[in-house]
């Protein structure tokens, strides 16, 4: 089983990748959450997005000019990482 991965972005936010709430123990669907801490805790209601939807979301953001040159550079570096 793949464990939940977390990354703190700053004192108030973190990103989590793990089993989707709709997976219901099948261990097939994963999701990612962008979470804000409230009183030091992540609310259970933090929205989650299917991992596979991220590609479409990023492509759409690029097509619409939503990313800065610095953000595009970060994306390219992450994609080209060995």
Query: Mapping DSSP to helix (H, G, I), strand (E, B) and coil, where does residue 75 land?
Result: helix
Quote the tokens at residue 11: 């004192």
Q: What is the distance between the alpha carbons of residues 59 and 52, in angstroms, rounded to a whole number?
A: 12
Quote the tokens at residue 69: 């040159």
Query: Mapping DSSP to helix (H, G, I), strand (E, B) and coil, where does residue 17 land?
Result: strand
Query: Mapping DSSP to helix (H, G, I), strand (E, B) and coil, where does residue 54 land?
Result: helix
Q: What is the distance between the alpha carbons of residues 78 and 60, in angstroms, rounded to a whole number?
A: 18
pLDDT digits (tens, 9 = 90+) for 22-71: 999 899 999 999 888 888 777 778 889 999 999 999 999 999 999 999 99
Mean pLDDT value of segment 6-21: 91
**What are the boundaries of each domain within the chain?**
1-50, 52-82
């Amino acid at each position: 089983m793949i464990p939940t991965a977390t990354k703190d972005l700053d004192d108030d936010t973190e990103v989590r990748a793990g089993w989707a709430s709709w997976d219901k123990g099948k261990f097939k669907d994963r999701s990612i959450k962008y979470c804000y801490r409230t009183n030091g805790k992540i609310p259970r209601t933090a929205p989650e997005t299917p991992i596979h939807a991220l590609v479409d979301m990023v492509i759409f953001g690029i097509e619409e000019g939503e990313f800065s040159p610095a953000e595009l550079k970060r994306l390219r570096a992450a994609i080209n990482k060995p």
